[in-house]
Amino acid sequence: MNQSFELTPGRLRELRGFAIAARLLNFSRAAREAGCTPSVLSRRIASLEEAVGGKLFLRTTRRMTLTPRGEQLLAHCERLEMVMLDLAADLRPRGGEPSGRLCVHLPAAYGRLCVAPVLARFMAGHPQIRIEAVYDDAYADLVAGRIDLAIRVGRLADAQLVARRVGDMRRYLCAAPSYLASAPALMDPAELKAHRCVAFSGLRTGTLWQFSQGRRRRSVRVDPVLTCNDSTATREALLAGVGIGIQGDYMADELIAAGRLARVLPAWDLSVSPIQLVWLPGADRAPALRALIDYLAAELR
């Protein structure tokens, strides 16, 4: 498409006329629907063809079809129409009820286990709000990803974001009883080097596991037999007896209470990470986002 192609009011009229003609494949009927004469519609199509650098229709005395260029442009027009419909729906007054679309980025396992049920309750009370929830442990750039709200576990790397703390996550060193039954004794973090370890690559410190006991500090660089980029996969490996690994309390508490996992080195503490809602400065002026932030903050605490 020509680099000088701009969506001026005149160009939008041309695109609308083209989209109608492309669907009807009849210029006379398309002109009536577009509210102009066939000659005016033909001039608009010609102007559009010049702008895109190619023919949009193949016309014979018996039939009219779209060229490949025309089919491509029709697909763009349909996407543009959907954007305009969504915009009209989002801007329509709704008597004070928050409305609009929100993109929310969530840590995979924490999001599914702890946040998804809360989002469902929020949407039941706010039927005019649409949410796109992305469950992913990878770091996401809010600007590049067009993300309205994210939940981050751990210290924030971007001081430009606005944050609201909604809780803390404790971490435990865990293993299945089946693994511990045949594994070497473990009394000190340094002895982890003699054990099979399972690592979650999303952990900020990676394979450097850091422990504290009062004022004492220990750091151990483990050599994992399995590294997972998904915390749920890490949990499943531990349950299967693959080795020892780190689990957040929201995943481990019930499994420990049921005896399916056991805490390892319980006298040594792992890091406690803040759980925070983050968004771009000023974004919370939108009523829909403000309502979601307040609801999540109250429920997740």
In tens digits, the chain (301 residues) has pLDDT values of 554 678 888 888 999 999 999 888 888 888 888 889 999 999 999 999 999 989 999 987 778 899 999 989 998 888 888 777 777 666 665 566 888 899 999 998 899 989 999 999 999 999 999 999 999 888 888 888 899 999 998 877 766 889 999 999 999 999 999 999 999 889 999 999 999 999 998 888 889 999 999 889 999 999 999 999 888 899 999 999 999 999 999 999 999 999 999 999 999 999 888 999 999 999 988 999 999 999 999 999 8
The tokens describing 238, both together, are 């531990």
- From residue 185, how far is each of 18, 216, 265 by CA, in Å? 76, 21, 11
CATH 3.40.190.290 residue ranges for the chain: 170-270
The residue with tokens 């006379």 is 28
CATH 1.10.10.10 residue ranges for the chain: 9-91
| Residue 208: predicted pLDDT | 94
Q: Give the tens place of pLDDT for each residue, 107-116.
A: 988 999 899 9
Measured N-to-C along each axis, helices 68-91 and 38-52 cross at an angle, to the nearest 10 degrees, of: 100
Work out the number of other CB atoms within 10 angstroms of the CB of residue 95: 5
Query: Residue 97 is inside which H or E element, if any?
Result: none
CATH 3.40.190.10 residue ranges for the chain: 100-167+274-300
9-91 domain in CATH 3.40.190.10?
no
Task: Quote the CATH superfamily of domain 100-167+274-300.
Answer: Periplasmic binding protein-like II (3.40.190.10)
d(CA 144, CA 276) in angstroms, rounded, equals 20
Task: Tally the residues of the chain.
Answer: 301
- From residue 204, how far is each of 13, 119, 157, 251 by CA, in Å? 52, 27, 11, 18
Q: Give the tens place of pLDDT for each residue, 194-219.
A: 999 999 988 888 899 999 998 899 99
- From residue 159, how far is each of 123, 199, 297 by CA, in Å? 30, 28, 20
Give the domain 170-270 fold.
Answer: D-Maltodextrin-Binding Protein; domain 2 (3.40.190)
